[in-house]
Amino acid sequence: MNRLSFRQLLVFLLIIFSVGISVCDGQQLGTGPVGRTKHGLFGISFGKKRDNGVKAPKSVNQVKREQEKKKKKEEADYVKSVKESQKRTVKIQSPEVQDRMKQNEKDTKTREKTKKAKASESTKKAGKKYKK
């Protein structure tokens, strides 16, 4: 009987000991990855974060730069062609029509200017009204 109780006591202690170790492993003091994420959540950073991603080859970057350059040139050419087209449209008209077109442009500019001034004035009033 003494022997049976000793075995039971030994098994019981082993179970308690193994549970105690697993509980202690779950309680870390902020070292390791858990502690680092906790610091990151509250805005505390330690050093610079580096981008460890793979960089593109030099030839790929060069092709991208060339594409951007080409796109900018095409946009500039488009703007230039539109301006030339507008000038040509005015140039082929009769003098009376040219005068009327110029006057329409002036009227449009003054209308836009007053509209913009009115809009900015109303936003200033609203800003003052709700400012506390």
DSSP character at residue 47: S
Task: Give residue 28's pLDDT band: very low, low, confident or very high (50, 70, 90).
Answer: low
pLDDT at 68: 96
pTM over 0.75: no
d(Cα 29, Cα 64) in Å, to the nearest integer? 48
Tokens representing 105?
């442009």
> Average pLDDT of 30-34?
54
The two structure tokens encoding residue 65: 């730069």
Neighbours of 36 (CB within 10 A): 14
Q: Decide: 45 and 38 in contact? Cβ < 8 Å.
A: no
